[in-house]
Structure 1
Amino acid sequence: MDTSLLLFIAATFVLAGFVKGVIGLGLPTIAVGVLGVVMAPAQAAALLAIPNIATNGWQIATGPKLGSTLRRLWPMLAAICIGTWAGAGLLQQEKDGSATLWLGLALVLYALVGLKAAKLRVPPTWEGWLGPVIGFATGVVTAATGVFVLPAVPYLQALGFDKDELVQALGLSFIVSTLALSAGLIGAGALNLTVAGHSVLALVPALAGMAAGQFIRGRISAATFRLCFFAGLLGLGGYLCWRSLG
């Protein structure tokens, strides 16, 4: 890699890490989107493996209720693995950007609903069957796009977590998606020791950006966090739509 490409990748990870630090998500969405300018989606997803694992691990560790959240979400998390492995190979096959376009449109729609203060809620009695359905669908979307926000993010947001609990729950969902996707990429040959080494280097700017973002999140109110959360989703969705049509 030449110097200009390295600087481009580093800047991308700083930006993506910062957004993740503020709202708890956005690292793969931004990084896969921006890096798609200079590499294939599967290559970008492989480069994200270590930063995704580390940043989501950090996000999980700094949350308030890991045990209870894990017990509540494990059926969804297990189904994410099954869905990702069922869709193995879809990311390498995506050439026309259609999957990314639909993902972007769904994010925009969900963000607009959230910004209008519409509160989606999942009844507790639904979680037993709806969680695995959401998890499987999220796994297939992950396999097709390298991005793991839908439909997991709306589902988790509708479970009534507070600000820090939601960020921790997102971290759990994302780290499971990352591990499942990485297994598929290893099987497809897109993630090897050389790429893993580059992925380790990408961790430094990602963590620096995330630390700055968490500093900001720790100093904003729940209402401001909600606004940032949905505005961030709107921006991510709009960007995915623009990139798929570009």
Structure 2
Amino acid sequence: MPDVFQIIAPELLLFACGVTVLAGFVKGAVGFAMPLVMVSGMGILIDPQLVVAGIILPILISNGWQVARAGMGQAREAVAEHWRYILIVCVMILITTQFVRVIPADLMFIVLGVPVVALCIVQFAGWRPRIAPTLRRPFEWLAGLLAGILGGLAGTWGPPTVLYLLALATPRDRQMSVQGVIYMLGSVMLFAGHLQSGILNAQTWPFSALLLLPALVGMWLGFRLGDRFDQERFRRVTLFVLIFAGINLIRRGVMG
């Protein structure tokens, strides 16, 4: 394995592992937000392109775990019902990942920070869109387009997906399995896209691989302890923290 300390200092690697444990815990407890926590947390101190590389393998493996935990039967049903949304998300992730390396560092901080802040504010406000059945098909394409662009550039398509499922009045007990499938397939596209873009390469993949263990430990703790928390209060505290972290990313991008 290449020496990971050639691209990141030991103290920053330790910091990244701590953020990743927290991100895994949040995902295990509430079912999403791992990339939001990792991007906004690690982005405080670490180069944004390295942050994007670092989240790839933890997101891929953790989403696979989430799908397996929900059961493959529900996964097949989710694909059959939401294939249009899944298709456009996956295609747009593949396309937009190719632009990450050409975005200047300051602009990349803004690209990472703005979606974090905007999506958290939308969720914190409790906005619940409602779509008439006659508008479902165009809404699927439009929502998938937005989610795929955010996924390719910032590695996070979870909050748009949550809003999409809420707009379709998807039952709460079904949302987790549907989310797992969409996140899993999207993370496969993120992995493939960044192999092609060069973000995930011989120098950066060891960093992403080293974050797998803290991600899975955090997720396991989230599964075990999540039911003991007031889910709504925990979610709101998480969103508050993410908003402030996202604002800091935007500040770095604006001030240089």
TM > 0.5? yes
Structure 1 counterpart of 2:83 = 74
1:39 pairs, out of 43, 46, 61, with 46
Cα distance in 2 for residues equivalent to 1:226 and 1:124: 29
Which digits, 9 at most, give the CA deviation of each residue in 1:73-113, with x for residues without a partner?
22111101222233233333052333334313422431232
Residues 23 and 7 of structure 1, relative CA distance in 2, 3 Å threshold: same
Structure 2 counterpart of 1:48 = 55
Identity of aligned residues (%): 25
Residues 58 and 240 of structure 1, relative CA distance in 2, 3 Å threshold: same
Cα distance in 1 for residues equivalent to 2:49 and 2:68: 28
Structure 1 counterpart of 2:246 = 240
Name the SS of the counterpart of 2:97 in structure 1. coil
State the 1:123 CA deviation. Answer: 3.6
Structure 2 counterpart of 1:143 = 152
Name the SS of the counterpart of 1:87 in structure 2. helix
Residues 232 and 123 of structure 1, relative CA distance in 2, 3 Å threshold: farther
2:31 pairs, out of 24, 28, 37, with 24
Structure 2 counterpart of 1:225 = 231
Which digits, 9 at most, give the CA deviation of each residue in 1:101-158, with x for residues without a partner?
43134224312321xxx54333444333311221111111122223223522211233
Contact 1:42 1:91 in 2 (8 A): yes
1:62 maps onto 2:83 in alignment = no
Structure 2 counterpart of 1:91 = 100
Name the SS of the counterpart of 1:122 in structure 2. coil
Contact 2:39 2:112 in 1 (8 A): no
Contact 1:45 1:146 in 2 (8 A): yes
> Which amino acid in 1 is paired with 2:242?
L
1:158 maps onto 2:167 in alignment = yes
Cα distance in 2 for residues equivalent to 1:8 and 1:85: 29
1:198 pairs, out of 207, 211, 227, with 207
Cα distance in 2 for residues equivalent to 1:210 and 1:163: 20
Cα distance in 2 for residues equivalent to 1:148 and 1:4: 29
Segments of 4+ in structure 1 off by > 4 A?
Answer: none
Structure 2 counterpart of 1:121 = 130
1:102-113 aligned at under 5 Å gives the runs: 102-113=114-125
Which digits, 9 at most, give the CA deviation of each residue in 1:190-244, with x for residues without a partner?
2124433332221111011011111233446xxx434544553343234212322
> Which amino acid in 2 is paired with 1:80?
V
Cα distance in 1 for residues equivalent to 2:130 and 2:65: 27
Contact 1:81 1:136 in 2 (8 A): no
Structure 2, gaps ≥5 residues long? none
> Which amino acid in 2 is paired with 1:182?
F
State the 1:32 CA deviation. Answer: 1.8
State the 1:186 CA deviation. Answer: 1.4
Which digits, 9 at most, give the CA deviation of each residue in 1:145-191, with x for residues without a partner?
23223522211233334444322222222222322222222122121
Contact 1:81 1:176 in 2 (8 A): yes
2:222 pairs, out of 199, 213, 222, with 213
Name the SS of the counterpart of 2:115 in structure 1. helix
Residues 88 and 108 of structure 1, relative CA distance in 2, 3 Å threshold: closer
RMSD: 2.5
Residues 216 and 172 of structure 1, relative CA distance in 2, 3 Å threshold: same
Contact 2:40 2:116 in 1 (8 A): no
Contact 2:27 2:219 in 1 (8 A): yes
State the 1:69 CA deviation. Answer: 1.8
Contact 2:44 2:249 in 1 (8 A): no
Structure 1, gaps ≥5 residues long? none
Residues 202 and 98 of structure 1, relative CA distance in 2, 3 Å threshold: closer
Contact 1:156 1:166 in 2 (8 A): yes
